A and B are shown apart, each in its own frame.
Chain A
Amino acid sequence: MGKRIGMEVAVAVAEAVGLCNIDMAAVYPITPQSHIAEHLSDLVADGHIDCEFVTVESEHSAMSAVIGASGAGARSYTATSSQGLMLMHELLPIASAMRLPIVMGIANRAVSGPLNILNDHSDIMPQRDAGWIALFVENAQEAVDLSIAAFKIAEHKDVMLPVSVNIDGFQLTHMVEPFEMPTQEEVNEFLPPFVPHATLHPSKPVTMGAFAMSDYFTEIMKAKDEAVKASKKVIQQVFDEWGEKFGRPYKLVETYKADDADVMMLTMGSMGETAQMAIDELRAKGVKAGLVKLRLWRPFPFEELKAVIGNAKKLIVTDRACSFGGPGGPVFSEIKSALYAEARRPLIYNYIIGLGGRDVQVKEFVGMFENVLADTANKAADTYEFWGVRE
């Protein structure tokens, strides 16, 4: 069993990736991801891991380099944040279309402008339709565990898709937290060698990323959609294997005191733990409050979400990004759409919270519940609000 240690989360993520027998990494440093880039390059430079660390001049090049390396059959890793992810955007659908099992850590950070280096989810939300599997973590242990499990998911023969592990910038990346680091032996047992579906090799020439016209494009998009959807089963399977081996089981949709909840809240990422404390306070006051934590953003876990919403009368969806001029936050739209066809569904409220690193405290989560419970005429249902905005 691994040792329980305290470490900065970004460094821990680099350590965890270092246990995964990666062949190649191309990581361009950007706040708040930089400590992943720095520590991973240290591990390579100091000879701790046998890996090619490609120093690139931008995130566009970083993603291009991992696409090439993965195509050549190398287990490849990159990490980025915010503007770096936006610069990679053009290449993300190419990696998934080529079915390259790249793993990317994203230290989630607000997108400019104005320039802001702190945490929200406005960087990952525009990447929603890139065809990548997107996982969210909420503490050091999850960041470490899922950074390793991501390789097994990505490289599974029935998946072969890139995976992003979303780790809230600063709130998580820069915290020193206690967690259990798996040992090299344990990771070796858990993670089989990478067997690519095809490789760029002169002994058997192939073309990857070829041109396709209208006669094939629809079929290719359909195949990609089916592949992303089908990955859901494997993701849970890998989570189960992880649970068995390490005693820390994961679910696509996590819950906290949700079974008998009348009013629920949905979070993604690190704010889940703060919201949990609010649930405890509300429960102590006799409010049947519960929490839903979306771990898997793509493929969207429709059935799993419906199962945990159960008979809740009201659901508060928190968003860490805005879809300007749209129907509300991106998560809110998604949840509404997921529950649209249900005969019995909760009233859904949307709060856009924690933008650009703004702190959201326990009392504020309690306040959101109180607002929603006070709305007895249901006037605020199906609307969205910027929580705490100065009027």
Chain B
Amino acid sequence: MTLKTWRELPIGCVVSEPGSASEYHTGSWRSQRPIWNDTKCIKCGICYVFCPEGCVQQTEEGFFKANMDYCKGCGICAHECWPRAIKMVEEG
């Protein structure tokens, strides 16, 4: 995303495109990422329920993964996952 100069900002910084926040990829803040172990996963969906970003999605097979554009690596999914199928791994 090219950053605007001060001259290019709309007056009062009004955001005129609804939903444009989805273009802001907050996943760049992440220092750890969740890795799912599908052999331990029982597809209960607790990670999906607890993710504060709403970035956990269910795959066609019924397992779960996070959208890395928005996952901030908070670790709440791993903390809540009682079969311990999610491990937080340091970002390279």
A interface residues with partner B (beta carbon < 8 Å): 97-100, 160, 197-198, 204-208, 210, 212, 215-216, 218-220, 222-223, 226
Partner of B11, one of A160, A218, A219, A222: A160
Bound CA span A205–B14, Å: 10
24 contacts between A and B (CB under 8 A): A97-B12, A97-B13, A98-B12, A99-B11, A99-B12, A160-B11, A160-B12, A197-B11, A197-B12, A197-B14, A198-B12, A198-B14, A204-B16, A212-B13, A216-B3, A216-B4, A216-B13, A219-B4, A219-B5, A219-B9, A220-B9, A222-B6, A223-B6, A223-B7
B interface residues with partner A (beta carbon < 8 Å): 3-7, 9, 11-16, 18
Bound CA span A206–B12, Å: 12
Given A215-B3, A216-B3, verify A223-B15 contact (CB < 8 Å).
no
Contact indicator A208/B6 (Cβ below 8 Å): no
Contact indicator A207/B14 (Cβ below 8 Å): yes
Contact indicator A206/B5 (Cβ below 8 Å): no
Contact indicator A206/B16 (Cβ below 8 Å): yes
Bound CA span A220–B5, Å: 9
Bound CA span A100–B13, Å: 12
Partner of B12, one of A100, A215, A216: A100
In the complex, chain B residues whose CB is within 8 Å of the CB of A220: 6, 9, 13
CB distance from B24 to the nearest CB of A (A): 9
In the complex, chain A residues whose CB is within 8 Å of the CB of B13: 97-98, 210, 212, 216, 220
Bound CA span A218–B5, Å: 10
Bound CA span A204–B14, Å: 12
Contact indicator A206/B15 (Cβ below 8 Å): yes
In the complex, chain B residues whose CB is within 8 Å of the CB of A207: 14-15, 18
Q: Which residue of B lies closest to A96 (CB)?
A: B12
Q: Which residue of A lies closest to B14 (CB)?
A: A198
Q: Looking at B7, B9, B12, which has the most chain A CB atoms within 10 Å of its CB?
A: B12
Kindly list the 4 A-B residue pairs having the minimum CB-CB distance in the complex, ordered from nearest. A99-B12, A207-B15, A219-B6, A222-B6
In the complex, chain A residues whose CB is within 8 Å of the CB of B3: 215-216, 219
In the complex, chain A residues whose CB is within 8 Å of the CB of B4: 216, 219
In the complex, chain B residues whose CB is within 8 Å of the CB of A205: 18
Q: Which residue of B lies closest to A157 (CB)?
A: B11
In the complex, chain B residues whose CB is within 8 Å of the CB of A222: 6
Bound CA span A152–B68, Å: 50
